[in-house]
């Protein structure tokens, strides 16, 4: 009889995420071991328990998931977990704090249905400094898309551009912008794609500005909490054409996000050496779409 699939969930938040737990169970995991309030000093012991219990080919029946709402803290746990591995003695792991990797992957896959992802496309990312927005920028930049990175503060938008440019030679693709009153027309001018990744319940783009954007092909709003991040887009929109733009709302993207999240969890149990961060989850999303 095959060993049960065990997912060890490490979360820096005091309470481990119920969302991540339910998705894991729905993705076919037999046992979810949840640890909240995990700090880096505790990772070694927890990961060793997962590495040393099942040997050889059975190692792929145990995997690790790192969630949480503080992305930097979650990334630190990922680093610590990877540092525990040696040779083939390792388990597959996935990082998805705030659902940022799976959500960003779904948004970019949705965009790719309507615009080529390359230098011929210019994208505007609103709320680009949050966990989701930063990853949307990161994935689009890696595809060679020209990006306008938008924050309420130029220093924050510039910091994102610098961070992503350091990852690869994306510097020429990225420009930092702020949201000035009445400035949306200029920001949207020549853009084919807009992704609104602002905080829940905050409108970032007025319906009139979107409707007036002549170059726009696709508009994606990731905010599920009213009011919409892009006014006039309904949460369940899934490529619905409104005023000539393919529109996606948070629930429309969310369906694909859930498919990607399920697929990523399932893939963890196919081998013991996966590390699923934004790029790997996006690659999986392209296959699943
Ligand atoms: N559809 C799905 O499946 C799914 C899954 C996960 C998350 N989400 C949604 O995706 C969105 C992004 O998530 P996140 O965690 O990255 O968001 P977040 O960190 O809460 O916010 C993103 C950015 O929004 C900007 N912002 C915050 N308050 C604002 C305000 N009052 N006015 C204008 N801008 C404001 C901030 O940028 P600046 O301070 O730099 O301006 C912030 O960095 C959220 O709406 C979230 O609910 C959707």
Q: Which atom of ligand 1 is nearest to the CA of 257?
A: 3
Average pLDDT of the segment spanning 114-140: 97
pLDDT for 1 equals 73
The residue whose C-alpha atom lies closest to atom 3 belonging to ligand 1 is 254
Q: pLDDT band for position 249 (50/70/90)?
A: very high
What is the enclosing helix (H) or strand (E) of 7?
A: strand 6-10
The residue whose C-alpha atom lies closest to atom 37 belonging to ligand 1 is 127
| In the block, residue with structure tokens 């001018």 | 189
pLDDT for 104 equals 98
Q: How far apart are CA 251 and CA 254, in angstroms?
A: 4
Q: Which atom of ligand 1 is nearest to the CA of 134?
A: 16
CB 129 within 8 A of CB 99: no
Cα 52 to ligand 1 centroid, rounded to whole Å:
39
CB 205 within 8 A of CB 183: no
Cα 197 to ligand 1 centroid, rounded to whole Å:
5
Cα 95 to ligand 1 centroid, rounded to whole Å:
19
CA 9 to chain centre: 18
| Residues 67-84: tens digit of each pLDDT | 999 999 999 999 999 999
pLDDT of residue 188 exceeding 80, the answer is yes
Q: What is the reported pTM? A: 0.96
Average pLDDT of the segment spanning 98-106: 97
CB 54 within 8 A of CB 83: no
Question: What does each C-alpha distance from 272 to 68, 76, 82 come to in angstroms?
Answer: 23, 21, 12
Vertex 120: Cα angle to 115 and 123 (nearest 5): 65
The residue whose C-alpha atom lies closest to atom 19 belonging to ligand 1 is 130
| Residues 1-49: tens digit of each pLDDT | 789 999 999 999 999 999 999 999 999 999 999 999 999 999 999 999 9
The residue whose C-alpha atom lies closest to atom 30 belonging to ligand 1 is 202
- Which SS3 state, helix, strand or coil, does residue 266 take? helix
Cα 68 to ligand 1 centroid, rounded to whole Å:
15
Closest CA to 285 of 48, 122, 108: 108
Average pLDDT of the segment spanning 213-232: 97
CB 177 within 8 A of CB 154: yes
Q: Which atom of ligand 1 is nearest to the CA of 69?
A: 15
pLDDT for 171 equals 67
Average pLDDT of the segment spanning 48-72: 93
The residue whose C-alpha atom lies closest to atom 6 belonging to ligand 1 is 99
| Residues 130-185: tens digit of each pLDDT | 999 999 999 999 999 999 999 999 999 999 999 999 887 766 789 999 998 889 99
Token digits of residue 153: 């503060």
**Domains of the chain, each with CATH number or no CATH:** 6-95 (3.40.50.10280), 103-253 (3.40.50.720)
Q: Which atom of ligand 1 is nearest to the CA of 133?
A: 16
| Residues 189-216: tens digit of each pLDDT | 999 999 999 999 999 999 999 999 999 9
Q: Which atom of ligand 1 is nearest to the CA of 196?
A: 11
Q: pLDDT band for position 55 (50/70/90)?
A: confident
Average pLDDT of the segment spanning 226-249: 97
List all residues whose CB is within 6 A of at least one atom of ligand 1. Answer: 98-99, 103, 127, 129-133, 151-153, 156, 197-200, 202, 222-224, 250, 253-254, 257
Parallel/antiparallel/unpaired status of strands 245-248 and 238-242 = antiparallel
Q: pLDDT band for position 128 (50/70/90)?
A: very high
Cα 200 to ligand 1 centroid, rounded to whole Å:
6
């Amino acid at each position: 009889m095959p060993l049960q699939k065990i997912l060890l969930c490490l979360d820096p938040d005091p309470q481990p995420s119920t969302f991540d737990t339910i998705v894991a169970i729905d993705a076919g995991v037999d046992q979810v071991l949840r640890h909240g309030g995990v700090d880096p000093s505790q990772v070694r012991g927890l990961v060793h328990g997962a590495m040393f219990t099942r040997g050889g080919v059975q190692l792929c029946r145990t995997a690790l998931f790192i969630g949480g709402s503080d992305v930097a803290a979650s990334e630190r746990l990922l680093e610590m977990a990877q540092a525990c591995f040696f040779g083939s003695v390792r388990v597959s792991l996935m990082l998805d704090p705030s659902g940022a990797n799976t959500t960003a992957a779904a948004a970019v896959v949705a965009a790719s249905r309507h615009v080529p992802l390359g230098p011929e496309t210019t994208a505007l990312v609103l709320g680009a400094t949050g966990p989701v927005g930063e990853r949307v920028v990161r994935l689009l930049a890696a595809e060679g898309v020209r990006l306008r990175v938008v924050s309420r503060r130029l220093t924050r938008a510039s910091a994102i551009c610098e961070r992503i440019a350091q990852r690869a030679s994306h510097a020429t693709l990225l420009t930092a912008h702020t949201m000035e009153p009445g400035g949306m027309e200029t920001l949207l001018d020549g853009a084919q794609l807009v992704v609104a990744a602002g905080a829940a319940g905050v409108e970032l783009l007025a319906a009139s500005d979107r409707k007036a954007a002549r170059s726009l092909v696709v508009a994606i709003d990731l905010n599920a909490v009213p009011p919409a991040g892009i006014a006039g887009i309904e949460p369940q929109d899934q490529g619905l054409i409104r005023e000539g733009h393919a529109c996606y709302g948070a629930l429309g993207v969310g369906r694909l996000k859930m498919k990607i999240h399920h697929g990523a969890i399932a893939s963890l149990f196919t081998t013991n050496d996966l590390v699923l961060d934004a790029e790997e989850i996006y690659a999986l999303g392209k296959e699943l779409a």
